[in-house]
Structure 1
């Protein structure tokens, strides 16, 4: 495999290979996430209502699979994440926790996290499309715009050095084998909760497939970095949606575009994969807002998510799944903040537990697309 990658890199260059791989992995993620209704927001609502059923099972299946896949690759010598930014760079514990809370609040208000908004946009959901655009604008403002000073101030409150201090496994004196065991425990929990559901086939296929794409992204970027003649120029990374969303926004608004890489292909790939998933399930339909209050709620929620994701260094997938699978301390703090923020916000503006479902199946303003 290394020989084939080296040949492709020599012929097409790092940017093209990374973008192509990102597109393929993104397509798989979008398809599996769409078919399984993968959604952290729905999982948190089930959890806080004590209704441990399908949505929570799907998320746990995906998370457990990501952990097992990543830790298994590390044990097999096929992956080394020590150079990943979530572990190698200086991090912010205050930013991780506060950002997670902001993000959790926002995803309740928008009825979906950043990845879910992109998935739903490809299905014709205009609420998700507008929220995704607001999310990207806010993320860019937090990265290098008007909100950057506030982000930097919060991030400076409580920091941690890169290296072992950012690895949850290192801090407790554990290693990849312990991480693998933790993944097995999460998988057992997912299987236990899944018994409360109707055991829908796509819940299993989609949940496991979604988790595998997280591990695949880590492996692919690492393999490219090993095969590249300029290994130091290739960033080892997994899937995330906050940074790439801001990057794509700047590509649209500015003539000085960032160098194309994994993220460049990933976002369009997710969009296409979700579109194909909706086409497969005959779920393509145009949906809008039912009133002004709903629109305002979605916009404010998207702003909270955009700022929270940049403050925390990742979204529900980037921190919760990607960072969580390598046991980055800040990622686990962010994930905890997301569940906490979502629980508090759901109690404030909550809905009956019977209505917990992905936004793609909401009732308001539905206009079927002509065949």
Structure 2
């Protein structure tokens, strides 16, 4: 809503372009698989790495490498092939020859309805430890934030990302995959053109998480077992590949492009969810069911 208001006021310009449907479907699904294997999405991998999880460091490395590879000449053939499978309009409003505001209004009404429904639910008392800090330190590093407060803050950050990144010559909102690839491209090529607003964004996520984890005494360098470590590496590869051909990750497609009312965002989000469901069933649900059946048979 905020971004479209800025566009309406002439402060921003944005074109949704064409919809690369095949890349979005395949990439979104693979990215969803990778989320479960890596133990978190692209952004989650950055902040969990900042908390000291070695598995997330490995997932971040493989995610970074694959994202960079997919932007190199080695992947040009695949990228060009996927570009053949596109439709003319990525914007949902343009597809139906409508103004975007009715779609925004519907989404706003649904969101408010869900929020009101959640607020009416009885509050569960959660046991907490006695606070060891006071003032701003307690609020930032100890106190649990209400999910809706956090959501509003993320929404404001997502809105500010547009004018702030535009001021540096980058016309987009929040993004993680391209900036992550840009870091490795800069380290390999040494070209400062790869250093941009998005790079500082993802580095800020890592540094901010590290500071928060240290200040809240939650930072620990934690290693996982061999199976989990290998799974994390594979998850990073799937996320880097999937996000690259889908045109975005859970932030680029799942947050930004859905807010821009594009087919790429909403369809990509649906297939991410399907990928997460599939991997969750294979990695967690099915083994647990087999274990329960084996226990029941033994008894």
Which runs of 5 or more residues in structure 2 are unaligned? 126-143, 287-299
Q: CA 1:69/1:285 → structure 2, altered by over 3 Å: closer, same or farther?
A: farther
Alignment partner, residue 284 of structure 2 = 350
Report the equivalent of 1:186: 111
Paired position in structure 1 for 2:91: 167
Counterpart of 2:3 (choices 70, 73, 83) is 70
Deviation at 1:193? Answer: 4.2
1:141 matches 2:69: yes
Structure 1 segments unaligned to the other structure (5+ residues): 1-67, 226-233, 353-371
Match of 1:129 among 57, 70, 92: 57
* 1:1-371 to 2 correspondences below 5 Å: 68-75=1-8, 77=9, 79-83=11-15, 87-88=16-17, 90-156=18-84, 158-161=85-88, 165-172=89-96, 173-193=98-118, 195=121, 198=124, 201-222=145-166, 224=167, 234-290=169-225, 292-351=226-285
Q: For residue 107 of structure 1, report the CA deviation from its aligned partner.
A: 0.4
Change (3 A) 1:271 1:180: farther
Q: CA deviation at 1:275?
A: 2.2
CA RMSD of aligned residues (A): 2.5
| Aligned residue pairs, count | 267
8 Å contact 2:180–2:199 — kept in the other structure? no
Question: Which residue matches 1:46?
Answer: none
Query: Is the Cα–Cα contact under 8 Å of residues 155 and 311 in structure 1 kept in the other structure?
Result: no
| 1:229-282 deviation line (CA, Å, top 9, x unaligned) | xxxxx2311111111111001111222342532123212211122223323433
Q: Give TM-score scaled by structure 2 length.
A: 0.80
**Segment of structure 1 superposing worse, 92-101 or 293-302:** 293-302
SS of residue paired to 1:258: helix
**Number of the residue aligned with 2:297:** none
Alpha-carbon contact 1:250-1:257 (below 8 Å) kept: no
Contact kept? 2:177, 2:248, Cα under 8 Å = yes
SS of the residue 2:252 aligns to: helix
Query: After the TM superposition, which parts of structure 1 deviate over 6 Å for at least 4 consecutive aligned residues?
Result: none
Q: Distance between the aligned counterparts of 1:133 and 1:196, measured in 2?
A: 43
Relative to structure 1, the CA distance from residue 325 to residue 286 in structure 2 (aligned partners, 3 Å threshold; closer, same or farther) is same
